[in-house]
Amino acid sequence: MFSPKSLNADMLTVSAHKLGGPKGIGALYIDKPVLTAKKFVSYILGGGQEGGLRSGTENVAAIAGFGAAAEYHIKSGTRENFRAETDKLRKFLEEHLPESVICNTPRGEYMPHIASVTLPGVKSEVMLRFLSERGIYVSSGSACSSRHRGISQALLAFGLGEAAADSTIRVSFSGSTTEADMLALACALREGVNRLKR
């Protein structure tokens, strides 16, 4: 559990879809000193909604969906169990991956719901197509980098070489992901590596 103060954050964004809420809605935390000092400028000007921070009609349905998702997580205790459950799923996946496949296990603090998997000899885009034909959807990078083709700069900075970075997929877990899902992924990766390896 964290708070903006524990992170020493002046500003913090939260996306609703990361906790099962609707896509396209989020929240922005702004520390009071930053807000009162007016150290940032709105890029959507007009009617003055949101205290002049973001003009335009608010998406009430999406806001309500975000609130409902947050409330569900608080009441169900999901947030307390999420890290333990996703760590367990990550370990389960690692145990069932083919020997040639590398799970890029993070060091120190990391987001538990994302796993990075390198498939030596198989380009990530080729594996993505192979998996999607079997109803398994993963990605070769974050959604925010999906329009920028080429080798992930984040993976290179993480220490992977160009060939390994070009053969790495990103697996995301949610509260509804099961060990059966992980086993299906591991089996499909095994089949894909055997068929697609250069």
* Per-residue pLDDT, 37: 84
pTM for the model: 0.70
165: left (phi over 0), alpha (psi -120 to 50) or beta: alpha
* Per-residue pLDDT, 78: 62
Q: Give the residue numbers annotated as catalytic, written as ranges.
A: 144
* Per-residue pLDDT, 58: 86
Report the alpha-carbon angle 10-8-108, nearest 5: 130
* Per-residue pLDDT, 119: 92
Write 50-57 long-range contacts (CB < 8 A, 24+): 53/28
**Alpha-carbon distance values, 33 to 11, 30, 41, 44, 115 (Å):** 11, 8, 15, 22, 37
Cα–Cα distance for residue pair 126/189, rounded to 1 Å = 12
* Per-residue pLDDT, 147: 52
pLDDT (tens place) for every residue of the chain, 198 residues total: 678 888 889 999 999 988 889 999 999 898 988 888 877 777 778 887 777 778 888 899 999 999 999 888 788 766 667 778 888 888 899 899 988 888 887 767 777 788 899 999 999 999 999 999 999 999 886 555 555 566 778 888 878 889 988 999 999 887 788 999 999 999 999 999 999 886
Q: Name all domains of the chain by residue range, CATH numbers in brackets.
A: 11-76 (no CATH), 82-196 (3.90.1150.10)
**Alpha-carbon distance values, 146 to 140, 141, 149, 152, 170 (Å):** 8, 7, 7, 10, 12
